[in-house]
Amino acid sequence: MLARGFAQIRDGILGLAYPGDCRLCANSIESADDGIVCARCWTDPSITNLFGTGTMCRKCGAPAPGSTGPQPRACGWCNDLSLAAARACGAYKGGLEASILFLKSNPHICSRLAAIIETTYRRDSLVLAADFIVPIPLHRSRERERGFNQAELIARVLAKSCRIPIERKLMTRTKRTRRHRAGMDNMDRARSVERAFAVPDPKRVIGATILLIDDIFTTGSTLSEAAKSLLEAGAKEVKALTIARASLPSSR
């Protein structure tokens, strides 16, 4: 009873800061655990598409619905990425998309999204195993403007639940890149982040396996460029975990 009463009080307090209506369907949100999306929109797979079943690319984790056989196939689109492996919680739509957009200006990850992040890591823990995790850094001027780095908030969720150490200062962003816009092609995105990262103390990464954390995998340009910097500094392997994955063509 005490725990239930506390939850009701908490939901009432958080209701003052969070909108009472779902960002997707405008129905009431019953619990602060769901953040800005109602439980129905979180659990309806036609709205929020979480990965976890079905065949996916063995390297980048992109869904491969046409693939058959016991072993996952390579999608072909990720051949040039510097990542050894990448996984995402689900598609960039529904509850994941709304939560990522909200996270850009509000430093809070709701309990449901935290549980989804943890579940994704545990499901692919062998693929994503690493010595430590590194959140993709923002340029210092952009982090000052925003007041926080959303990738670091995601990394903290994972570090707390899965007991993986965070190295938040292992890598820096050396140039303020353009924000990626809808309509930018792969080449534009790659050019915008070229040589955008540096590893101030390479001795700390030599021989290490590193898990990068970010909010969204679009073309993979940002994550791949960060991985390239870490590999050049001496890292053994670099992997990535994101909340969402933008759609890719179904074939190459």
pLDDT in tens, 216-228: 999 899 999 999 9
3-state helix, strand, coil in the chain (%, to 5): 35, 15, 45
Count other Cβ atoms within 10 Å, centred on residue 7. Answer: 13
Mean pLDDT, residues 68-84:
78
CA distances from 27 to 34, 101, 109 (A): 13, 19, 20
pTM for the model stands at 0.86
Handedness of CA 220, 222, 228, 230 (dihedral sign): negative
Dist. CA 10–CA 225, nearest whole Å: 41
Cα three-residue angle 230-231-236, rounded to 5 degrees: 110
Tokens of 124: 């692919």
Q: Looking at residue 71, what is its pLDDT?
A: 57
Q: State percent of the chain over pLDDT 90.
A: 64
Least confident range from 114-118, 185-189, 218-222: namely 185-189
Dist. CA 33–CA 13, nearest whole Å: 12
Per domain, the residue ranges of the chain are 1-47, 51-245
Mean pLDDT, residues 71-98:
90
pLDDT in tens, 137-177: 998 988 898 999 999 999 999 999 888 999 999 999 997 76
Q: Looking at residue 15, what is its pLDDT?
A: 53
Query: What's the CATH code, domain 51-245?
Result: 3.40.50
Handedness of CA 158, 203, 207, 232 (dihedral sign): positive
Tokens of 209: 């396996």
Mean pLDDT over all residues of the chain? 86
Mean pLDDT, residues 53-66:
82
Tokens of 245: 């994955």
Query: Do you know the residue count of the chain?
Result: 252
